[in-house]
Amino acid sequence: MQDCASVPGLAVAEALYGRPQWREYDLGDAGDDARFWEVWHKRQAEVVLVMLRPDGRLVLQTKAIYPSGAYRIPTGGILRDEPLLDALARELREETGQQARVRCLLGVLCYRFRRAGVAHDRQSYVFLLDIGPEPLRPEDGEEEISAYREVRLEDLPAVAADLECRPGEWAVWGRFRALVHWFVAGALGCDA
């Protein structure tokens, strides 16, 4: 997966917030799964909003369309030709109505998967952010965010394990979404 990270503004983000850890994942035929493809058919890349409150708790969200109890770290798509830091600011506003201080560009996760035998590459750009104590109010109603939850960093492996165990139509989606949670837990020294 050479050159998997090709979004505009990556060099600027690295200059400001440090070189990220890189991970590559081969997801096999995950693209054939309807829920997984729903996430990725319109986007080439996404930002991951690892938001820490002043007390050190991590913000998770759930959406009206998710199965009961499925919370995860917020993410948002990067628009075509949109600079990375612009996407970060836009998605933070859309998902939370807040601004944040960027601690670091924690990671770049590169995924390869197949849909109908055709290979596709996608990326997640993981940012560690400090966010204030104010209530979160998403500005984009189309996001269908129905609730937020805050957890301790050491609880992140349990969140990942819960996502991995989602049954039925949510199984592939849950295993995919768990990857960033395992990555963040490991990068911040909280893995099980």
CATH of domain 10-187: 3.90.79.10
Q: What pTM was computed for the model?
A: 0.94
Q: What are phi and psi of 149, to 5 degrees?
A: -145, 150
What pLDDT, on the 0 to 100 scale, is given for residue 2? 46
Q: Where are the domains of the chain?
A: 10-187
In DSSP notation, the chain reads -TT----TTHHHHHHHH-PPEEEEEE-TTGGGSHHHHHHHSS-SEEEEEEEE-TTSPEEEEEETTSPTT--B--EEEPPTT--HHHHHHHHHHHHHS---EEEEEEEEEEEEEEETTEEEEEEEEEEEEE--SSPP--S-GGG-EEEEEEE-GGGHHHHHHHHHT--GGGHHHHHHHHHHHHHHHHHTT---
Longest dimension (CA), the chain: 46
Supply the pLDDT for residue 1.
46
pLDDT in tens, the chain (192 residues): 445 767 999 999 999 999 999 999 998 998 888 888 888 888 889 999 999 999 999 999 999 999 999 999 999 999 999 999 999 999 999 999 999 999 999 999 999 888 999 888 899 999 999 999 999 999 877 778 999 999 999 999 999 999 999 999 999 999 999 999 999 999 998 754
Q: From the CB of residue 3, how many other CB atoms can be counted at a distance below 10 Å? A: 7
